[in-house]
């Protein structure tokens, strides 16, 4: 649980900065930041499940 929270926090902070730097209009910033956040968390969770099935 703690690891998931850390990942969400990381994604949120990166998304804020990418949103501000990557777009110029306020609404575009918000949607771009939200997209970055969703991608970070979504891909992170997907990778976690893929790795879960790998025998190590």
Partner 1 sequence: MEEIRVSTEKPGLEGWLAGGLAWAIPGAGHFYQGQPVRGLLLGGSVLAMYVIGWLLGGHLYGLHNVAETGFLAYVFGFCDLGTGLLYLASLLGNIAVTDNARLATSEYGDRFLMVAGLLNYLSMLDAFDIAVRRKK
What sign for the dihedral angle of Cα 40, 41, 46, 51? positive
**Based on CB atoms, which residue is closest to partner 1, 2 or 27?**
2
Q: What minimum distance in Å lies between the beta carbon of 42 and partner 1?
A: 19
Query: What are the percentages of helix, strand and coil residues in the chain, rounded to 5?
Result: 85, 0, 15
Give the one residue of 1, 4, 16, 40 binding partner 1; rule: CB under 8 A: 16
Residues at the site binding partner 1, with contacts judged by CB under 8 A: 2-3, 6, 9-10, 13-14, 16-17, 20-21, 24
């Amino acid at each position: 649980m703690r690891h998931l929270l850390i990942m969400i926090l990381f994604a949120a902070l990166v998304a804020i900065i990418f949103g501000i730097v990557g777009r110029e209009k306020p609404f575009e910033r918000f949607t771009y930041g939200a997209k970055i956040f969703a991608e970070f968390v979504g891909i992170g969770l997907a990778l976690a499940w893929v790795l879960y099935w790998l025998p190590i």
